Structure 1
Amino acid sequence: MSYQLSAVVADVELLAEQTAGLDHAVLAALRQDFALLPVTPQLVEELTGALPDFTVEELGPQRPFHLVLSAALTEVFARWSRQGPVAYLEAEFAGGTGHQAAVLWLDGAMVWGPCFDATLDRHRSEWPINTALVRIGAEPGSWIDPFAELGLHLEGSTEGWLAHGRRRLSADYWDDLAEEWEYRQNPTNQQPWRPEAVGDWGIS
């Protein structure tokens, strides 16, 4: 199984306000009132007026992202962060190997990162994306980590998140489908047929 992500995550109202009117901005709903903005070449060009650059060198702590965060793009994210924390996240995995990286802006400045990890041999709480999500305000819940708690596992690619946002799906979409499927498979959950009038079911 593969996973690929290039996205900004921040408060949903912050991102909605900052991207209003942009042709290539698609917001996808996450849990806890956060949203994910897939970062595509078209979006970068719209934000900066220039085509994006991508590194061709091996990624590492000195070059943590495939997408080169140009001065113009960094300025955009820094400006957005005057309204609240903004995180840029990248991840790519295939066949059990890969990397993830994250960076965070707040009050107009980069305040954490960039942080890169290709081994993920530390505790999950110390992984770059989980750390960034906690720093922007993600709270613990029933899921294994902030990544899953907010729902970043629901799509496996930036393109998937674009489709997710365009369809205006909730972060609980797949959970809702699974619950509906389980309900339909379990006859004991089906309402028995009743001959009474519709009003007897409480349906108006």
Structure 2
Amino acid sequence: MSYQLSAVVADAELFREQTAELDHAILGELRQDFALLPITPQLVLELTGSLPDFATDERSAEHPFGLVLSPTLIELLARWSQSGPVAYLEAEFGGGVGYQSAAVWLGGALSWGPRFDDELDTPREQWPINSALTRLGVEPGTWIDPFAELGLHLERNTDGWLAHGRRRLSADYWDELVEQWEQDR
């Protein structure tokens, strides 16, 4: 089963304030009062005035993201981070092969990253997305790591997150379905 993620994660209220007037901003509710903003070409165009550019080379520490973070997009993330930490997350996996990358902005500037990993052979808390989420303030819980704690495993790609947001589902919704299913068995 494949997995693809290209999104910004931040406090849900920060996103509500910053994206209220945007036509293409669809927020996916996560746990712990965080939200995910799926990055689509339409959203990048609305935010920056330009179509997104995508890297053609292989992901690496020197080129951690598939989406080329334009100066306008970086400036926007930095501006949003004046209200609280903001992370850009990217992951792509298929057949056990893939990568994840992340960067965090805080106080109007890049504060961590970008970090890239395509081996994921270190402890889970050191993986780029988990490290970024910890910097956002994700608290440990019953799930295996910050990624699962927020519910980032619930959808497999951008289209899934867009549907999740349009239906106004929360990560808790899926937990409630599992509980109901277990009770009905």
Report if TM-score (shorter chain) is over 0.5. Answer: yes
Counterpart CA distance in 2 for 1:154 and 1:89 is 15
Counterpart CA distance in 2 for 1:147 and 1:72 is 28
Structure 1: any 5+ residue segments left out of the alignment?
186-204
- Which residue in 1 is equivalent to 2:34? 34
- Which residue in 2 is equivalent to 1:154? 154
Q: Secondary structure at the match of 2:14?
A: helix
Shift of 1:87: 0.1
- Which residue in 2 is equivalent to 1:89? 89
Q: Secondary structure at the match of 2:61?
A: coil
Q: Kindly indicate whether residue 76 of structure 2 is the aligned counterpart of residue 76 of structure 1.
A: yes
Q: Secondary structure at the match of 1:125?
A: helix
The farther-off stretch of 54-63 and 173-182 is 173-182
Which digits, 9 at most, give the CA deviation of each residue in 1:135-185, with x for residues without a partner?
A: 010000110000000110000101100000000001122221121122222
Paired residues for 1:119-138 under 5 Å: 119-138=119-138
Counterpart CA distance in 1 for 2:11 and 2:129 is 16
Which digits, 9 at most, give the CA deviation of each residue in 1:40-93, with x for residues without a partner?
A: 010000000000000011110010000000000000100000000000000000
- Which residue in 1 is equivalent to 2:113? 113
* Number of residue equivalences: 185
- Which residue in 2 is equivalent to 1:99? 99
**Same amino acid, percent of matched pairs:** 70
Counterpart CA distance in 2 for 1:12 and 1:175 is 19
Q: Kindly indicate whether residue 15 of structure 2 is the aligned counterpart of residue 15 of structure 1.
A: yes
Counterpart CA distance in 1 for 2:104 and 2:182 is 40
Superposed CA RMSD: 0.6
Give the greater-gyration-radius structure (CA). 1
